């Protein structure tokens, strides 16, 4: 196999390799585009999760503040209701200790009778003493009735106040339960979102790693392609040089042959053609002293 054939064979192999490299590079570029696209989509999902978690954290902070305020209000209302209960119990105890064996109207009537009797009759000291003692007891009973009346009024005032506190306390408790339930729900949602975020991050990292590996492989193939293209260029230069060298050799051989033929014609005294004369004139050695043409 000649050098030209060897060079042509190597050029053909390199072109085939470049075609194969182009195909592989195109496949890798498709893979890179897919990895970038999937990675970016995953990053978008992660960004959405971060926004959701941020909103949930803000809601949680607000609910935590409300929860603290509600717990404080519940404690205060519970204490207030307890104070009302204690006060009501004390009033009922005071009411129970009062001597209320007669109707208040009968007491007043009996006091009027005693006053009238003492002013309209002459009574003995013993009878007067007994009447005064009875009147004192009746007046004490009347005072107890007045106290009982005040206690009843106080109890009547306490009942709606206690009911209002109960309603307010129940309302705060229900709201606190709702807030507590929502806080628990937020915690579960955040845990689920954080787990999903971690999974997506691992997925995005895998896409990115695959992208890096593919890019490095593409760079390696492109570098090999550049080397192959450079080698083809060098081989073409070498082939062109060989062909030019061969052409020059052939031209030289043709000229040598025609020069020999022209010299022979010249030696025979035959007339030379223009091209033959030109070939002889280009060879200066023929026209130097002791040259072949001069010797003829």
Whether 134 and 268 map to the same domain: the answer is no
Are residues 221 and 282 located together in one domain of the fold? no
* Token pair of 238 as six digits: 């070498």
181 & 41 share domain = yes
The verdict on residue 293 lying in a domain is no
pLDDT on residue 151: 64
- Paired tokens of 112: 């009027």
pTM of the model: 0.57
The C-alpha atoms of residue 129 and residue 107 are separated, in whole angstroms, by 18
Residue 240, in any domain of the structure: yes
Residue 295 lies in a domain: no
Opening angle at CA 168, ends 163 and 171, nearest 5: 125
Average pLDDT, the chain: 82
Q: Are 222 and 32 in contact (CB under 8 A)?
A: no
**Angle at 195 (CA atoms; ends 193, 198), nearest 5 degrees:** 110
In a domain, 125, yes or no: yes
Q: How does pLDDT run across 222-277, given as a tens digit for each residue?
A: 999 999 999 999 888 887 877 777 777 777 777 778 777 777 777 777 777 777 67
Same domain, yes or no, for 27 and 94? yes
Its domain, for residue 279, covers 253-288
Name the more confident of 143 and 80: 80
204, 228: one domain: yes
Domains contained in the chain, number: 2
What pLDDT score does 272 carry? 72
Q: Find how far residue 290's CA is from the centre of its chain.
A: 99
Shared-domain flag, residues 176 and 66: yes
Residue 295, pLDDT score:
40
Structural domain contains residue 232: yes
Q: Looking at the domain assignment, is residue 63 inside a domain?
A: yes
Q: What is the pLDDT of residue 294?
A: 40
Task: Report d(CA 219, CA 251) in Å as an integer.
Answer: 47
Determine, yes or no, domain membership for 81: yes
pLDDT at 217 over 60: yes
Pair 260, 208 in one domain: no
Tokens representing 89 are 């119990």
For residue 200, being part of any structural domain is answered with yes
Mean pLDDT of 61-87: 89
Same domain, 139 and 175: yes
Pair 171, 269 in one domain:
no
Percent pLDDT > 70 in the chain is: 83
DSSP string, 146-195: HHHHHHHHHHHHHHHHHHHHHHHHHHHHHHHHHHHHHHHHHHHHHHHHHH
211 lies in the same domain as 267: no
- Give, for 73, the enclosing helix (H) or strand (E): helix 3-97
pLDDT at residue 17, as a whole number: 94
Same domain flag for 216 and 271:
no
Q: Are residues 90 and 128 in the same domain?
A: yes
Domain harbouring 160, CATH code:
1.10.287
């Amino acid at each position: 196999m000649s050098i030209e054939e060897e060079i042509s064979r190597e050029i053909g192999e390199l072109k085939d390799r470049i075609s194969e490299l182009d195909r592989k590079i195109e496949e890798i570029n498709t893979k890179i585009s897919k990895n970038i696209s999937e990675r970016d989509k995953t990053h978008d999902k992660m960004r959405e999760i971060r926004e959701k978690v941020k909103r949930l954290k803000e809601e949680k902070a607000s609910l935590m503040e409300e929860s603290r305020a509600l717990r404080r209000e519940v404690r205060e209302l519970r204490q207030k209701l307890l104070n009302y209960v204690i006060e009501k119990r004390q009033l009922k105890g005071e009411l129970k200790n009062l001597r209320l064996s007669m109707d208040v109207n009968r007491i007043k009537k009996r006091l009027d009778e005693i006053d009238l009797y003492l002013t309209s009759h002459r009574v003995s000291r013993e009878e007067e003493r007994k009447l005064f003692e009875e009147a004192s007891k009746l007046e004490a009973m009347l005072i107890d009735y007045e106290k009982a009346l005040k206690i009843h009024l106080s109890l009547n005032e306490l009942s709606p106040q206690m009911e209002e506190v109960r309603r307010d306390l129940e309302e705060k408790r229900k709201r606190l339960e709702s807030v507590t339930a929502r806080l628990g729900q937020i915690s579960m949602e955040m845990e689920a979102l954080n787990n999903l975020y971690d999974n997506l991050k691992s997925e995005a990292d895998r896409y990115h790693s695959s992208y890096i590996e593919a890019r490095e492989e593409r760079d390696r193939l492109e570098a090999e392609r550049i080397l192959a293209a450079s080698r083809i260029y060098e081989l073409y230069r070498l082939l062109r040089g060989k062909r030019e060298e061969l052409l020059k050799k052939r031209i030289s051989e043709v000229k040598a042959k025609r020069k020999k033929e022209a010299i022979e014609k010249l030696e025979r005294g035959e007339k030379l053609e223009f091209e033959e004369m030109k070939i002889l004139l280009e060879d200066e050695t023929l026209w130097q002293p002791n040259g072949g043409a001069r010797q003829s």
